[in-house]
């Protein structure tokens, strides 16, 4: 029966790829036995994919999507046979790589390695949830199916190092070791001893035949009992049961061909003339997940009714952002925006139980320590070490878990290390907050290797993402209030150095993305800037006024929000000759500006004031530049 279930998964997957004339059948056929055996261990409810105490299963190799959708369909999720037939088609529930539009998909994994780190994040989130709500309510496991590609990506090492550090005994990684990559035998690029690697990282390691149901079952039982995170190394054959293509790298990313699929079906005892066929007894076996899932959820709800944690759970599920007791800033005081952000972070964390996060070993510099709130798992401070990429992917899983509001912090220039995970957060519209300090050439003495130049432009270019480069505590406070209620992930780009106090908006506000900070009746110029360059623009505007030249100043803390304003609002702000001023290479400002006064090179090492002056970011040089226009 197990073999019949597995072959049904195989041939549904092969038919899907063939129908679409596109996809990856090889790994799907190779993993069918493992997924069949795993189905008998999973605790989930197909009729309620968001049930909190369900086991999470993460498919790190999203190219096995045909297998995933076949499994979800057979298990009773809201995925029809027609959905399988529309595999990889526009508007379908079954896209080429898994996305959140598909019921039962826990997280969109995207690039290889992301899903493995996401699984570590889910396991960490479950440990934190159990600490808050009790193990009677949170006691599920996290399973991750990964392949050679996931383990070759550096993020896998970062994430698994943290899994061992936190003794994530609820994490079970199943490694599909089929020895094949797109270019051929995996040994041409990857020959390390994976077992020794994971044992060195503190994992319990099991090695099995990935097509032997008894071995798979026994390994899963042992892994569930282990007091460590587990890795099951499953030796499999790519394109299992696909006749002459079995074991071939040619099966990885192309349809198997109708004629071969027919012969394979016949060899396995299936009707070779039927496509998308599911035997009744197979469907019955898989769909038992519905009744079992309903029963497990009913038992869980009974536990919840007896629990004294119901109110806490409600607050975690539905945080009240309007009741946060924010700091009472003196807006006339000069302050680095990383310092104002520190106070805001701590205020939010004190008011929202689910707000937590950490820094890539930079909390004293990022100013992101949550004072007196302890370290993970008991507390809210997560020490990620120097692991930006894993940090962001792990926090994506925290955001998807359903109870938490995570933040990730590092220097802005090191955001490059986490950009793939930030992009996935944007694609999924996760409530994930990124804190990037040391925002420009103002980093100073650390020099050009640590001075961001092009980074802000790349974040502004990302859909479904808000980037706040704030100029003072007022903008910082407003930005957080917007971010907490936003449907998008948000970044806060903050200064190391103190910034001069500024007046409040004259027209518009932070929620508009840009607003008038200074206005003249007949301006010759409008200076548009963000962050540390606002004070410079105000100084230049005053000097221009002294010489009877009118000048408006516009603060633009959020480019993306300003883009969304109507034309009337934009025209109210952008009068006469508009000059964009940022100590970054911000070519996107041409969307609003006639001229740009920006960086055209990497930075230099020196005191921040000297570096700013060297590149022309002082009153005299900007004033002289404007007179030449």
Asked if 456 contacts 434 with a C-beta cutoff of 8 angstroms, the reply is no
Could you report the per-residue pLDDT of 367-402, keeping only the tens digit for each? 999 999 999 999 999 999 999 999 999 999 999 999
Tokens of 551: 């000048």
Q: What is the pLDDT of residue 4?
A: 98
In the structure, what pLDDT confidence band is assigned to residue 450 with cuts at 50, 70 and 90? very high
59: closest CA among 77, 34, 41, 37? 34
Q: For residue 84, what pLDDT is reported?
A: 98
Q: How far is CA 332 from CA 226, 328, 499, in A?
A: 57, 12, 11
Q: How confident is the model over 248-276, as a mean pLDDT? A: 94
Query: Would you state the pLDDT for residue 444?
Result: 93
Residues with Cβ within 8 Å of residue 596, at least 6 apart in sequence: 579, 580, 586, 587, 589, 590
Q: Which residues are catalytic?
A: 388
> Is omega for the bond preceding 251 within 30 degrees of 0, making it cis?
no
3-state secondary structure of 165: helix
Average pLDDT of the residues in 258-285: 97
Q: Which helix (H) or strand (E) holds 346?
A: helix 337-351
Confidence at residue 554, expressed as pLDDT on a 0 to 100 scale = 98
Which three-class secondary structure state does DSSP give residue 468? strand
The residue assigned the tokens 């440990």 is 127
Give the orientation angle of helix 25-39 with respect to helix 213-225, to 10 degrees. Answer: 60
pLDDT at 184: 87
Give residue 73's Cα distance to chain centre: 26
> How large a percentage of the chain has pLDDT more than 90?
98
Query: Distance between CA atoms of 87 and 594, rounded to whole angstroms?
Result: 47
Q: Quick one: pLDDT at residue 506?
A: 97
Tell me the chain's radius of gyration from C-alpha atoms: 27
pTM of this structure: 0.97
Residue 469: name the closest of 578, 338, 598 by CA: 338
The per-residue pLDDT for range 507-542, each reduced to its tens digit, is 999 999 999 999 999 999 999 999 999 999 999 999
Q: Which two tokens stand for residue 59?
A: 């498919």
Average pLDDT, the chain: 97
Q: Is the predicted pLDDT of residue 551 greater than 90, yes or no?
A: yes
Q: Quote the pLDDT of residue 77.
A: 98
Per the DSSP assignment, residues forming a β-bridge with 383 are: 359
* Predicted pLDDT of residue 468: 98
Confidence of residue 250 (pLDDT cuts 50, 70, 90): confident
| Mean pLDDT, rounded, for 2-6 | 98
Q: Where are the alpha helices (DSSP H) in 86-138?
A: 114-133
Write out pLDDT tens, residues 325-345.
999 999 999 999 999 999 999
pLDDT for 181 beyond 90:
no
Paired tokens of 605 = 């090492």
User: Could you give phi then psi for residue 579, rounded to 5 degrees?
Assistant: -120, 120
Residue range 176-203: average pLDDT?
94
Torsional sign, CA 119, 125, 130, 133: negative
What confidence tier does 442 reach under pLDDT thresholds 50, 70, 90? Answer: very high
Task: Give pLDDT, residue 542.
Answer: 97
d(CA 376, CA 357): 9
Q: Is the dihedral of CA 378, 383, 387, 392 positive or negative?
A: positive
**Residue 309 pLDDT:** 97
In the block, tokens 């159990």 appear at 130
pLDDT of residue 253: 83
Q: Is the pLDDT of residue 204 over 90?
A: yes
Q: What is the pLDDT of residue 29?
A: 95
Q: List Cα–Cα distances, 449 to 154, 436, 497, 606, in angstroms.
A: 22, 16, 18, 13
Is the backbone peptide bond immediately before 377 cis, with ω within 30 degrees of 0? yes
What confidence score (pLDDT) does residue 598 get? 98
Q: What 8-state DSSP symbol labels residue 507?
A: B
* Contact assessment for residue 190 and residue 181, using Cβ atoms and an 8 Å cutoff: yes
The mean per-residue pLDDT over the stretch 72-82 comes to 98
């Amino acid at each position: 029966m197990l073999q019949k279930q597995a072959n049904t998964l195989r041939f549904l997957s092969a038919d899907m790829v063939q129908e679409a004339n596109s996809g990856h059948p090889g790994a799907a056929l190779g993993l069918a036995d493992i997924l069949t055996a795993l189905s008998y261990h999973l605790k989930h409810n197909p009729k309620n994919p968001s049930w909190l105490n369900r086991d999470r299963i993460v498919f790190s190799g999203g190219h096995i999507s045909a297998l995933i959708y076949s499994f979800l369909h057979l298990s009773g999720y809201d995925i029809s046979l027609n959905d399988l037939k529309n595999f990889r088609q526009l508007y379908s529930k079954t896209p080429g790589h898994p996305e959140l539009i598909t019921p039962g998909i826990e997280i969109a994994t995207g690039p290889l390695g992301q899903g493995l780190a996401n699984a570590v994040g889910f396991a960490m989130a479950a440990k934190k949830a159990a600490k808050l709500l009790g193990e009677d309510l949170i006691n599920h496991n996290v399973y991750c199916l990964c392949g050679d590609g996931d383990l070759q990506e550096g993020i896998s090492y970062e994430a698994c190092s943290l899994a061992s550090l936190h003794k994530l005994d609820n994490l079970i990684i199943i490694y599909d070791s089929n020895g094949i990559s797109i270019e051929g035998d995996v040994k041409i690029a990857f020959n390390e001893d994976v077992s020794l690697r994971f044992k060195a990282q503190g994992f319990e390691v099991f090695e099995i035949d990935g097509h032997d149901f008894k071995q798979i079952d026994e390994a899963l039982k042992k892994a569930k009992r282990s007091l460590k995170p587990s890795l099951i190394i499953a030796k499999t054959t790519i394109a299992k049961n696909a006749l002459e293509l079995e074991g071939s790298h040619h099966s990885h990313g192309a349809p198997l061909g109708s004629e071969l699929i027919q012969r394979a079906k016949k060899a396995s005892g299936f009707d070779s003339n039927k496509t998308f066929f599911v035997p009744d007894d197979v469907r019955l076996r898989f769909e038992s997940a519905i009744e079992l899932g309903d029963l497990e959820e009913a038992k869980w709800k009974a536990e919840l009714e007896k629990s004294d944690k119901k109110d806490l759970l409600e607050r975690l599920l539905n945080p009240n952002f309007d009741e946060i007791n924010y700091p009472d800033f003196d807006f006339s005081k000069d302050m680095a925006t990383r310092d104002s952000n520190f106070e805001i972070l701590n205020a939010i964390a004190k008011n929202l139980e689910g707000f937590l996060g950490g820094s890539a070993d930079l909390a004293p510099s990022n100013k992101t320590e949550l004072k007196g709130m302890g370290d993970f798992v008991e507390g809210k401070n997560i020490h990620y070490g120097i692991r930006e990429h894993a940090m962001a992917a792990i926090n994506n899983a925290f955001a998807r878990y359903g109870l938490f509001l995570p933040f990730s912090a590092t220097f802005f220039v090191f955001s490059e290390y986490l950009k793939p995970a930030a992009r996935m957060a944007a694609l999924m519209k996760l409530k994930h907050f990124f804190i990037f300090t040391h925002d420009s050439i103002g980093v100073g003495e650390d020099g050009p290797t640590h001075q961001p130049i092009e980074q802000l432009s790349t974040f502004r270019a990302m859909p479904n993402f808000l980037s706040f480069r704030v100029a003072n505590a007022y903008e910082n406070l407003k930005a957080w209030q917007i971010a907490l209620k936003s449907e998008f992930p948000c970044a806060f780009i903050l200064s190391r150095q103190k910034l001069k106090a500024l007046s409040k908006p004259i027209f518009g506000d932070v929620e508009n993305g840009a607003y008038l900070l200074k206005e003249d009746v007949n301006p010759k110029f409008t200076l548009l800037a963000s962050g540390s360059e606002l004070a410079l623009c105000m100084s230049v505007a005053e000097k221009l006024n002294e010489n009877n030249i009118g000048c408006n100043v516009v603060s633009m803390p959020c480019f993306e929000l300003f883009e969304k304003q109507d034309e009337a609002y934009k025209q109210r702000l952008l009068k006469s000759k508009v000059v964009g001023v940022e100590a970054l290479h911000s070519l996107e400002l041409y969307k609003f500006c006639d001229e740009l006064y920006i960086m055209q090179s990497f930075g230099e090492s020196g005191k921040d004031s000297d570096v700013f002056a060297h590149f022309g970011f002082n009153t005299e040089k900007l004033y002289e530049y404007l007179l030449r226009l």
